[in-house]
Structure 1
Amino acid sequence: MDTPSTRESGEIASLLTDVAALRTAVLSEAKAFLADWDALESAAPGVENLARYLALRHHDLRPLQRRLMRLGLSSLGRLESRVLETLDAVAGALSALAGGDKPPIASEAGFFAGEARLASAGDDLFGPPPATRRTRIMVTLPSEAAGDPGLVIDLARRGMDVARINCAHDGSVAWLAMASHVRTASELFGRRITVLMDIAGPKIRTEAVATPDKKARLEAGARLRLCAAGAPRVDADVAFAATVSLPELVLRLSVGDRVLYDDGKLQAVAESLTEGEAILRVVRTKTGGAKLKPEKGLNLPDTALGLSPLTTKDEADLDAVITCADMIGYSFVSRPEDIDMLETALARRGAAARRLGLVAKIERPEAIRNLPRLIARAAAGRRPFGVMIARGDLAAEIGFERLAEMQEEILWICEAAHVPAIWATQVLEDLVKTGVPSRGEMTDAAMAARAECVMLNKGPEIGMALDVLETLLARMEGHLAKKTPTLRPLRSW
């Protein structure tokens, strides 16, 4: 066997030194993250790996990656669930190439232990996936599901693994009926179908509105008055007005703060503020303008609202959630203290609440910044935990142009922490609503196969969308697992 040239030997030795130095730095820097998360002494394996991953990603690895790729070694690009194991494997390969002592090699089970923990966490939270695909399918139940058990059974027959009940709609009687139909379907098909109930959180919406006429639309340059209380007031200068569901929205705005309406169909900026009112100037709308309507969502990405994610309504709804659900969806969670608040509320309800899984909905910039802290705090609770990438509100909050980048990063963070993720909002939306998908949404749905669960919203063609997604996810299973391509045989050429 030919030995490497002197030049090659020097490069391999240099690489080995660099990888060893990186490993040392990662271990040292990870301790700072664990200390910040109050997890230095008792971190779960996933939290410990997450700290190492974040430490690693604070380094620019691109030059090192290219040098490793040239030698046919791992480029470190797929180590989310196994940071130290991958660094050690690369160091071992380099040592062997250099002709040095071959260090012990981790067993296959040891190397892929992070993947196994993630799979187990997904099973605990959602239930086991079907044999044909790793990614579960969640479906938001419509209101009519309460009175139509056949609808729920049909969804289960087509592949629904998780039923979502939105507590912003209907009431406890309807929720109990929906959950009962899900249990019946689960028994009928002989597999575990779980129930997620989303508590509403502080709804930030328009209420009463005033417009010049029914056909009037807000265009760029128009002015809009938001009122904290009372009837919406229009005048010669401001022809559109709306009251809001949360007075704090108006009271905490500052001049220059952005306000987005109806999932970003309109963007405005606070122009002036008076007691109990804010005048906004519209800077962008969808083509043709936007109608001002009641019960439309508002997002304030620049404004610190200081709202509790657990409202009085949510507290009351928890009793029904404990009775009906397998897991609870937590809206507007942003800080570790928000996890503590919910845990305290659940603890007051005794042993029945201990079995509930928890899903943190990531929908605001603060939640993104605090995601590692949220994961570390939730891990301390020892209940099944997952993260929902709530892409509707998230896009409005951080900007549509950043969404694609951010949803990838959230997937990486969750994989590093061995936390299952839900890919949510507008998946196959055109297909669900009209029966005909767009090309772009088919690609989006295919990429959802990297999450542990993908959520479909309700709509008239939800059954057809389930059929398509079931097939699509099963096919994509043969091509990728997370960031790793799986090279099944190609049949098209």
Structure 2
Amino acid sequence: MDSLSDLEFIKTQIMHLESSMNETVASKQSLLNSLHEGQVVSAKNLLSYLTLRNLDIRELQDLLHIYGLSSLASSEGHILRQVQAIRERLGYVYKERDLDQCTFAFSKLKMGEKSRQLFGQKSEANMPYLMVTFDAEFADDYAKVKSLLQNGMNIARINCAHDDEDTWSRMINQVKKAMEQTGIPCKIYMDLAGPKIRTQILGKGRDKGKVKIKEGQLIWLVEDESEADKSQIVISPNESGIIHQLRKGDRIFIDDGAIRCIVEKVKKERIGLRIVRISSKKKLLKEGKGINFPDSFLQVPALTDFDKACLPFIFENADLVGYSFVKTAEDIVELRQALRELSESYPHLIIKIETLEAVENLPSLLLEGMKEQVFGLMIARGDLAVEIGFERLGEIQEEILWICEAAHVPVVWATQVLENLHKSGMATRSEITDAGHAAMAECVMINKGDYTIEVMETLRDVIHRTSTHRVKKRFTLRPLKIAQKFFAT
């Protein structure tokens, strides 16, 4: 193409993009009418961004870059207005009323407001909020809790899958005491346990809670204990209705993917699993380990009876409630109804993305969440990596960040952040890089470990350095010392 035809191509493509975005928004007007009024502009931007990402615009991006125009990268939060800005640079004149109100400044302000509503105030503007997972020992260790607060903890996380209401109460009391004495604010976040799909050993090894296994071995999955042959390796998933949803060839992962199996035999009340890989050094199948079914869209309720029993305590004590294993918009509707039975005013929701189904349904989950004034999303990278495949995690976690940025939904980056440092006191090189990527989220969650303060200090150091080069995924060009040294010599 010559320069004239290049520019005509750009003009035509950009005009079509704007038209397509407007058509999408217009077609979803009834949906937009159902949302909280404060979320409508964000929802329109999300719909416009999804319209863009339904297309392949790489050729257009190259030309935009060549002619010194925005290539639409890093414009998730204000995508239609960015398209309009390109048209303006190419000579198109808009009437003021036709310009989209979701500008770069608007999107930045909106994300900041929502983050503060969810996570509170923080002292360091360039740092994500820090969420710290509480261990049971914190319930009786005021000095530790106070130290966490003084070292940057913004949100205390209590996982309802562990401990009990008495322990949770003591944890919360320690946080409140530390807040009162230090004057440092801190939010209380409580995770619903969700379906507890965990190994329960029914056959060999039941008395010890573990059994030796080897690759190539056939083990059995049952739900009814009467189906368990004590001479064989037999486990239960600890949830009813699962085995009837499995098909031959489905992959099954146990213990965060350390044990990989394939469904080989499908019987009426028994499933035969062939072990194809064991990644751990100790080839043991243990009681209470997680089981993932990445190839099976299981009809297991996200909100369990145990979760419902926890809701009154959470309602009375928490600022935020984490919703585990959300898969569909209907799951959010169910939790909202359960909370409204307690009161119309309830803790803010954090939707946890940890299954392939949740990833595929992400737009509908976000739009259902937008019926709330504010809500957040957690990328629960542990289960998610097992569900989608470890090799896809880097790609998918970025896609989630892009789409949430378009929806102006604050994100919690969770699971295995500086994990080796947290457990052993020494970080690996790869997890330092991963910690730098955590700056793209509004909040970073730290798991349990023996070196929590060291993790917080390292995370702060890494992110401070990263934040001078990048705001979320938009790179910024501060002076480089390498360049300055070159010109100084």
TM-score (norm 1): 0.91
CA–CA separation in structure 2 for the residues paired with 1:110 and 1:189? 39
Q: Which of 375, 391, 396 pairs up with 2:381? A: 391
Aligned to 2:406: 416
1:73 maps to 2:69: yes
CA–CA separation in structure 2 for the residues paired with 1:380 and 1:148? 39
Query: Aligned residue pairs: how many?
Result: 479
Aligned to 1:84: 80
Q: Secondary structure at the match of 1:160?
A: coil
Structure 1 101/406 Cα, relative in aligned 2: closer, same or farther at 3 Å?
closer
CA–CA separation in structure 1 for the residues paired with 2:29 and 2:428? 44
Q: Which of 285, 302, 314 pairs up with 2:307? A: 314
1:192-271 to 2 correspondence within 5 Å? 192-211=185-204, 217-230=212-225, 233-234=228-229, 239-271=232-264
Aligned to 1:183: 176
Structure 1 472/40 Cα, relative in aligned 2: closer, same or farther at 3 Å?
closer
CA–CA separation in structure 2 for the residues paired with 1:476 and 1:490? 13
Q: Secondary structure at the match of 1:283?
A: strand
1:399 counterpart letter in structure 2: G
1:358 maps to 2:349: yes
Deviation at residue 490 of structure 1 after TM alignment: 1.7
Structure 1 187/413 Cα, relative in aligned 2: closer, same or farther at 3 Å?
same
CA–CA separation in structure 1 for the residues paired with 2:112 and 2:94? 31
Deviations, residues 440-475 of structure 1 (Å, cap 9, x unaligned): 111001100000001110111112111111222222
Structure 1 210/154 Cα, relative in aligned 2: closer, same or farther at 3 Å?
farther
CA–CA separation in structure 1 for the residues paired with 2:136 and 2:299? 32
1:481 maps to 2:471: yes
Aligned to 1:333: 326
Deviation at residue 110 of structure 1 after TM alignment: 4.1
Structure 1 27/290 Cα, relative in aligned 2: closer, same or farther at 3 Å?
farther
1:144 maps to 2:144: no
Deviation at residue 303 of structure 1 after TM alignment: 2.0
Deviation at residue 212 of structure 1 after TM alignment: 6.7
Given that 2:35 and 2:372 are in contact with CA atoms closer than 8 Å, whether structure 1 keeps it comes out as: no
Deviation at residue 315 of structure 1 after TM alignment: 0.8
Deviations, residues 393-450 of structure 1 (Å, cap 9, x unaligned): 1111111111111000000010000000011111110000000011111100110000
User: Which deviates further from its counterpart, 221-230 or 180-189?
Assistant: 180-189
1:413-492 to 2 correspondence within 5 Å? 413-492=403-482
1:365-380 to 2 correspondence within 5 Å? 365-380=356-371
Structure 1 205/212 Cα, relative in aligned 2: closer, same or farther at 3 Å?
closer
Q: Secondary structure at the match of 1:303?
A: coil
1:445 counterpart letter in structure 2: A
Structure 1 456/224 Cα, relative in aligned 2: closer, same or farther at 3 Å?
same
TM-score (norm 2): 0.92
CA–CA separation in structure 2 for the residues paired with 1:103 and 1:428? 51
Aligned to 1:3: none
Deviation at residue 185 of structure 1 after TM alignment: 2.3
Deviation at residue 30 of structure 1 after TM alignment: 3.9
Given that 1:146 and 1:174 are in contact with CA atoms closer than 8 Å, whether structure 2 keeps it comes out as: yes
1:71 counterpart letter in structure 2: Y
User: Gapped runs of 5+ residues in structure 2?
Assistant: none
Deviation at residue 233 of structure 1 after TM alignment: 3.7
User: Gapped runs of 5+ residues in structure 1?
Assistant: 1-5
CA–CA separation in structure 2 for the residues paired with 1:41 and 1:270? 45
CA–CA separation in structure 2 for the residues paired with 1:184 and 1:58? 50
Percent of aligned positions that are identical? 37
CA–CA separation in structure 1 for the residues paired with 2:280 and 2:142? 41
1:406 maps to 2:396: yes
Deviation at residue 273 of structure 1 after TM alignment: 2.5
1:397 counterpart letter in structure 2: E
CA–CA separation in structure 2 for the residues paired with 1:41 and 1:151? 40
Structure 1 385/393 Cα, relative in aligned 2: closer, same or farther at 3 Å?
same
CA–CA separation in structure 2 for the residues paired with 1:445 and 1:277? 43
Aligned to 2:44: 48
Deviation at residue 478 of structure 1 after TM alignment: 1.3
Aligned to 2:146: 153
Deviation at residue 290 of structure 1 after TM alignment: 3.4
Structure 1 20/163 Cα, relative in aligned 2: closer, same or farther at 3 Å?
same
Given that 2:150 and 2:184 are in contact with CA atoms closer than 8 Å, whether structure 1 keeps it comes out as: no
Structure 1 231/169 Cα, relative in aligned 2: closer, same or farther at 3 Å?
farther
1:346 maps to 2:334: no
Question: What value does the CA root-mean-square deviation take over the aligned residues?
Answer: 2.6
